[in-house]
Structure 1
Amino acid sequence: MSLVAFAIDALLPAVAEISKTIHIVDPKNNQLFITMIFLGIGFGQLISGPLSDSFGRKPIIYVGFTVFVLASFICLFSTNLEMMIVGRLLQGVGLSAPRTISIAMVRDRFSGNYMARVMSFITVIFLLIPVIAPALGKLLLDAYGWKSIFYSQLIVGVFIMLWVWKRQPETLVLEKRKKFKLALFVEGLKEFVKYKYAVIFTIFSGFITGSFMVYLSASQHIFVEQYHLEEEFPFIFACLAISIGLATFLNGKLVVRMGMFKLVSFFTVMFTVVSLIYILFFYGESNPNIYILLIFFGLQFFSIGFLFGNTRALAMEPIGHIAGVGAAINGFVSTIMAVPIATFIGSYITDTALPLFLGFFVCGMISLLLILILKLRRN
């Protein structure tokens, strides 16, 4: 799963440099470097998830990585925005395999709150990458240019694939594999929608992922263009990633005691309230002092750290018998929801960070409504 984070975050310091090289006129189009890879991940999961239910988890991961390699070379030799978008889109399609199938492999082995605990520790590793990736990207950019970042992704990817081949056993035994047919996904979809928890927490994930994706795509603009902190940007990004990692690590300790649903309910409220406080203080105002902004971001991402793993685990809990297709549908819907949300909110981020917090608040309120619906149904 860390390959996804590395492919996104290592490139952030180089966005402006790539934009100049391929002659992008409108700076808002720079956000497409991030949103397009997510779009590719979303659609790619519809292919990799069902295929892994038939042919096993590991072979499809290798196929996905091969697509990622070919897409990386398209990015390396891009001469315009359109070619770069195609490359990033295909990178996402390739990376959808390790990202989705990693979750299916966890569901193959674990269930319940213990599954959420395992997901939390995996997510800690996943979130450690944003701590080091922007700084590494900046070092490579300054020393060798932006193309070296893509080459570093390929080197890291080959290392991880060799490690998976050598150390990770296949988790889907032959007896549990489904015969491959074109109707496999349709049948899986029909089964998926029977489970209200799976459906509602998939939609929930879409709003949370969308709000976080806005930050990913707009962070370079906020910290570099609005605050003029180009040199400090990788370190700021790393510090905020640590807040998510800390929350995810604590979640692994707390989830077995308190349960996933309670934690999700509490931290969704926190996520929404923090964004509301920011709006009340700074609506119609210029950006606050950078330290105040970082405190608000830190609180938001601490909340998100408790939501990422738990919402995915809650969605996957009732559908272990179709883990591959289930993970694909979950990932596809949440990502396809997140991309337009991020694009829409991101288009308003010009002079201040306020639109980002307005987006956080709206996404948080809708997520609270979904939790309320579940509570009413349960009662």
Structure 2
Amino acid sequence: MKPVSVPPFAEFVTLVALMMAVTALGIDNVLPAFGPIGEDFGVADENRLQFIVYSYMIGFGVMQLVYGPLADVVGRRPTLLLGYAIFALGCLLAVFAPSFEFLLAARVIQGMGAAGGRIVSVTVVRDCYEGREMARVMSFTMMIFIIVPVFAPAVGSGFLAIGSWHLIFASMLVFALAILGWYALRMPETLRPEYRFPFSMSRILAGIRLSATTRVSIGYSTAMGLMFGCLMGYIGSAQQIFATDVYGLGPYFPLAFGLVAAVMGVGSFLNSRLVRRVGTRRMSHTGICGFAVASALQVALALSYAGKPPLVLFGLVLSANLFLFSLTLPNFNAMAMEPLGAIAGTASSFMGFYMTLLGAGFGLLVGQAFDGTVLPLAAGFLGLSILGVLVVLWTEHGRLFRPRQPDAA
């Protein structure tokens, strides 16, 4: 279903993926700069530096409630323009931040802007595709989206080598402006006329209520939030685990982080190839159950080696976790959005807000529990994935692996 003439499939997927990648760039590009930022602003507690990530995610989560309804009222293109303007402001404020607290405020503004790209990208996919084809597009999108974390820490380290951490935020600004220009030139307005609503708070609240009370939508959004909490817990503590406290890789941190992220890309690629044949439910249910099993192994390894298992063992099991993670989120997202095409913007907004804040909250708990070992991360993975499996069981009335509608799920 293509209501308008959108760019060819490959270009469409690449553009949407890069719109989403602005979000990842805003997180992963700055990870190598934790040390220099801490030194510049006199931040002695390394766990406190994690708020560079979590402050961004707070702004990102909250503003999604705004962009979705706005996208349904004024259209996708003006919404993206507003979001990237706010993101650009946050980048500029971060470049000239005089204190750590000011930098965190700038990060909140960056996140507020990045949310516009996330909402518009998911909404545009829902405008143009549905069912297993939508899940396929989301998987290709996620695969390209994950390429950014593979290289982002290395790019951030490169900027640190030639200048300072301020250059990292300047590069985010340039990247966002380039994506905005591409979108403006190539992507038409995808909001169908019959779905364009006049502004109405009662209509927005009704859309949010429908999103929150549709069992499939709220169930899979909750499961996404729990799994996203695993990812945020990992990202928040990755620099401490790989670069400093646990494995002491120092300048090789981007390499370790990139290798793990590359495995996620492989998982997303395989999901995109298999989802139309296997189905979103079989793929995602296998992914989340396998994630829980791998997490149990992660806990066992951590306990066996006093919280510091050999790097290769830890890396292998962590890669298995994130490979399986890649089989869940794109499919969970497609299934959550499937019943809500008529309110795609509002639905994407509410579910993004809910999933992000849930994930950021749990990720913050996992990250702040870091004690110089990998045990808090492993335990967080296990607990959150078990809760996720239970939520999926509730969502599917106790049935796993079986499609609800053979032609669409």
TM over 0.5: yes
1:336 maps to 2:357: yes
Shift of 1:194: 3.4
Is 2:323 aligned against 1:302?
A: yes
Match of 2:396 in 1: 375
**Structure 2 match to 1:54:** 73
Alignment counterpart, residue 311 of structure 2, candidates 262, 265, 290: 290
Q: Partners in 2 of 1:188 and 1:374 — Cα distance?
A: 20
Question: Which position in structure 2 is the counterpart of 1:18?
Answer: 37
The equivalent position to 2:279 in structure 1, one of 259, 262, 266, is 259
CA RMSD of aligned residues (A): 1.3
Match for residue 278 of structure 1? Answer: 298
| Residue 120 of structure 1 pairs with residue 139 of structure 2 | yes
String of CA shifts for 1:322-347, please: whole Å, max 9, x gaps.
00010011110011111221111112
Once the two structures are TM-superposed, the CA of residue 184 in structure 1 deviates from its matched residue by 3.4
SS of 2:250's equivalent in the other structure is: coil
Q: After the TM superposition, which residues 57-72 of structure 1 pair with which residues of structure 2 at under 5 Å, given as runs?
A: 57-72=76-91
Task: Give the deviation of 1:278 after TM superposition.
Answer: 2.0
Query: C-alpha offsets along residues 129-188 of structure 1, whole Å, 9 cap, x if unaligned?
Result: 011111111011111111111111111111111100001121103332011123332111
Partner of 1:139: 158
Displacement after TM superposition at 1:256 (Å)? 0.4
Q: Does the 8 A contact of 1:24 with 1:80 survive in 2?
A: no
Residue 296 of structure 1 and its aligned partner are, at CA, apart by 0.9
Normalised by the length of structure 2, the TM-score is: 0.90
Alpha-carbon separation, structure 1, partners of 2:116 and 2:356? 14
User: Is the contact made by 2:225 and 2:356 (CA closer than 8 Å) also made in structure 1?
Assistant: yes
Identity score, percent: 31
Distance change in 2, residues 1:377/1:195 (3 Å): farther
Does the 8 Å contact 1:17/1:146 carry over to 2? yes
What letter matches 1:13 in structure 2?
A: P
State yes or no: 1:187 paired with 2:206. Answer: yes
Tell me the equivalent position of 1:98.
117
Q: How far did 1:16 drift?
A: 1.1
Pairs aligned (count)? 379
Question: What is the distance in 2 between the residues matched to 1:2 and 1:144?
Answer: 24
Structure-1-length-normalised TM-score: 0.97
Q: What letter matches 2:285 in structure 1? A: S
User: Whole-Å Cα distance in 1 between the matches of residues 183 and 397 of structure 2?
Assistant: 43
Once the two structures are TM-superposed, the CA of residue 280 in structure 1 deviates from its matched residue by: 2.1
* Structure 1 position 375, deviation (Å): 3.2
Following TM superposition, the consecutive aligned residue runs of length 4 or more in structure 1 with deviations greater than 4 angstroms are none
| 3-state secondary structure, aligned to 1:183 | helix
User: Which of residues 264, 272, 275 in structure 2 aligns to 1:244?
Assistant: 264
Residue 40 of structure 1 is matched in structure 2 by 59
- The aligned counterpart of 1:327 is 348
Distance in structure 1 (CA, Å) of the matches to 2:326 and 2:310: 24
SS at match of 1:319: helix
CA offset digits 1:94-135 (Å, max 9, x no partner): 010011110011001111111000011111111110111111
Q: Distance in 1 between matches of 2:307 and 2:199?
A: 57
Post-superposition CA distance 1:204-235 (Å, at most 9, x none): 01100011001111100111122110111111
User: In structure 2, what is the equivalent of residue 167 of structure 1?
Assistant: 186
Deviation at 1:241? 0.7
Checking the alignment, whether the CA contact within 8 Å between 2:301 and 2:309 is kept in structure 1 is no
* 3-state SS of paired residue (1:171): coil
- Matched residue of 1:169: which SS? coil
Shift of 1:374: 2.8
User: 1:12, 1:134 within 8 Å by CA — same for their partners in 2?
Assistant: yes
Question: Structure 1 residue 21: deviation in Å?
Answer: 1.1
- For 2:175, which of 156, 159, 164 is the aligned residue? 156
Structure 1 window deviating more from structure 2 (254-263 vs 177-186): it is 177-186
Alignment-derived partner of residue 269 in structure 1:
289
Matched residues in 2 for 1:352 and 1:377: separation?
36
The offset of 1:59, in angstroms, is 0.6
**1:377 Cα deviation from its structure 2 partner:** 6.0
CA distance in 2, matches of 1:280, 1:220: 22
Q: What SS does the aligned partner of 2:60 have?
A: helix
Q: 1:82 to 1:184 in 2, by over 3 A?
A: farther
Q: Does the 8 A contact of 1:31 with 1:217 survive in 2?
A: yes
Q: Kindly state the Cα deviation for residue 286 of structure 1 after the two structures are TM-superposed.
A: 3.5
Gaps of 5+ in 2: 1-19, 405-409
1:232 partner SS: helix
In 1, Cα distance between equivalents of 2:397 and 2:249: 47
Q: Within 5 A, what are the aligned runs for 1:223-242?
A: 223-225=242-244, 226-242=246-262
- Do the aligned partners of 1:23 and 1:80 also contact (CA within 8 Å) in 2? no
Corresponding residue for residue 365 of structure 1? 386
Task: Please give the secondary structure, in 1, of the residue aligned with 2:372.
Answer: coil
1:89 to 88, 105, 108: 108
Q: Which residue of 1 aligns with 2:224?
A: 205
- 1:109 corresponds, among 128, 132, 135, to 128
User: Contact conserved, 1:61 with 1:98, CA < 8 A, in 2?
Assistant: yes
Letter of the 2:262 partner, please give it.
I
Deviation at 1:91, TM superposition (A): 0.4
> Which of 170, 195, 198 is the equivalent residue of 1:176?
195
Match of 1:217 among 219, 223, 236: 236
